[in-house]
Amino acid sequence: MEKRVALELRGRNPSQVKELNLDNCRSTNVVGLTDEYTNLEILSLNNVGLTTLKGFPTLPKLRKLELSDNRISNGLNFLNGCQKLTHLNFSGNKIKDLETLKPLEEFKNLKNLDLFNNDVTNIEDYRNKVFALHPALKYLDGLDKEDREAEDSDAEEEDEMNGNNDSEEDESEVEEEEDDDEDDGEISLSAVYNENLEEESSDSSVYEGSEDEEEDDDDDEEIDADHKSKLDGEDADGEPEESTRGKKRKHDDDEEN
């Protein structure tokens, strides 16, 4: 078991381990597992060959303990260092009487106890007696006091107690993705809007420029017309310069006479 514990540790500090699976490793007692596993919440020791729980470490945060298919017949008091236990599986062991179960009275949080395939289950009125012994117990061998199986809500509660909050994490991720999509949509709409403004501004500039060019062309035509009229000898009234000069000479001659 010590080698298996070291292998499962994978170089981590024992206080960092929250779940440990030691199924099928062979040992008659618990070795290699120490009080250093202060944050261990789930421990599985199925089909190990345990005959005693002596030396079981103090695990203050342990909530689920699997001990099925071993050869444990007594000594449940060695689990007293695990007061937060809510699920305890002793199926397939050697527990024969209710007296052996009395140490479990100390576990005020124990909700689910499995004693299937133990001799104690053959005792008359076994189920009622066990429920009376442990008032906080909700399920015994997978059934409640009315022999009903756990409902979905209870299964969900069990998953939450085991630290399984995958559904909540998925919802959170979906919300974050939706937020990201909304942000992307806002950015893209803004970009499109700005592009449209730029295009309209560009078209307006081109249009105004065209009008200015047309006005400039009209002015140039007027200037060219004036210049041409001067070249043709016309005055401001459109009369030939020669005629005007002739009239002036005639007027001067009349005055002299």
68 has a pLDDT exceeding 80: yes
Q: What is the reported pLDDT for 208?
A: 47
Sheet holding 87-89, edge to edge: 19-21, 42-44, 64-66, 87-89, 112-114, 139-140
Based on the fold, state whether residues 177 and 213 are members of the same structural domain: yes
Question: Residue 107 and residue 83: Cα distance in Å, rounded?
Answer: 6
Question: Would you say 91 and 116 are in contact if contact means Cβ atoms under 8 Å apart?
Answer: yes
CA dihedral 51, 117, 134, 65 (to 10 degrees): 50
Beta bridge partners of 43: 20, 65
Q: What is the reported pLDDT for 130?
A: 95
Based on the fold, state whether residues 31 and 84 are members of the same structural domain: yes
Based on the fold, state whether residues 88 and 142 are members of the same structural domain: yes
28 has a pLDDT exceeding 90: yes
CA dihedral 194, 195, 201, 203 (to 10 degrees): -160
111 has a pLDDT exceeding 60: yes
Q: Tell me: the pLDDT tens digits for 210-239?
A: 444 445 555 555 545 454 444 444 444 444
- Over residues 153-157, the mean pLDDT reads 46
Under DSSP, is residue 14 helix (H, G, I), strand (E, B) or coil?
helix
Based on the fold, state whether residues 199 and 137 are members of the same structural domain: no
Where are any strands of DSSP class E within the chain?
19-21, 42-44, 64-66, 87-89, 112-114, 139-140
**Total domains in the fold of the chain:** 2
Range with lowest mean pLDDT among 78-82, 101-105, 120-124, 238-242: 238-242
Q: Tell me: the pLDDT tens digits for 166-224?
A: 544 555 554 555 555 545 544 444 554 555 555 555 554 444 444 444 455 555 555 45
Based on the fold, state whether residues 157 and 69 are members of the same structural domain: yes
Question: Would you say 156 and 130 are in contact if contact means Cβ atoms under 8 Å apart?
Answer: no
Report the percent of the chain where pLDDT is more than 70.
Answer: 58
138 has a pLDDT exceeding 60: yes
157 has a pLDDT exceeding 70: no
Q: Give the CATH number of the domain where residue 130 resides.
A: 3.80.10.10
Question: Would you say 112 and 87 are in contact if contact means Cβ atoms under 8 Å apart?
Answer: yes
240 has a pLDDT exceeding 50: no
Final residue in a domain of this structure, among 133, 164, 195: 164
Q: Encoding tokens for residue 21?
A: 């699976």
Band of pLDDT at residue 150, cut at 50, 70 and 90: confident
Average confidence score pLDDT of the chain: 76
Based on the fold, state whether residues 126 and 202 are members of the same structural domain: no
The type of residue at 153 is S
Q: What is the reported pLDDT for 135?
A: 85
23 compared with 166, residue with greater pLDDT: 23
Based on the fold, state whether residues 39 and 61 are members of the same structural domain: yes
Among 30, 24, 22, 20, residue whose Cα is nearest residue 51:
30
Residue 117 CB contacts under 8 Å (≥ 6 apart), including other chains: 91, 92, 93
- Over residues 32-40, the mean pLDDT reads 95
Final residue in a domain of this structure, among 102, 137, 164: 164
Based on the fold, state whether residues 76 and 140 are members of the same structural domain: yes
Based on the fold, state whether residues 21 and 123 are members of the same structural domain: yes
Among 177, 171, 95, 97, residue whose Cα is nearest residue 129:
97
Residue 79 CB contacts under 8 Å (≥ 6 apart), including other chains: 53, 56, 65, 85, 88, 103, 107
Final residue in a domain of this structure, among 147, 164, 181: 164
Question: Residue 121 and residue 140: Cα distance in Å, rounded?
Answer: 11
Based on the fold, state whether residues 109 and 235 are members of the same structural domain: no
Question: Would you say 50 and 29 are in contact if contact means Cβ atoms under 8 Å apart?
Answer: yes
| Residue numbers of the domain that contains 80 | 2-164
- Over residues 25-43, the mean pLDDT reads 95
Based on the fold, state whether residues 10 and 120 are members of the same structural domain: yes
32 has a pLDDT exceeding 80: yes
Question: Would you say 18 and 163 are in contact if contact means Cβ atoms under 8 Å apart?
Answer: yes
The H helix count followed by the E strand count for the chain is: 5, 6
Based on the fold, state whether residues 39 and 158 are members of the same structural domain: yes
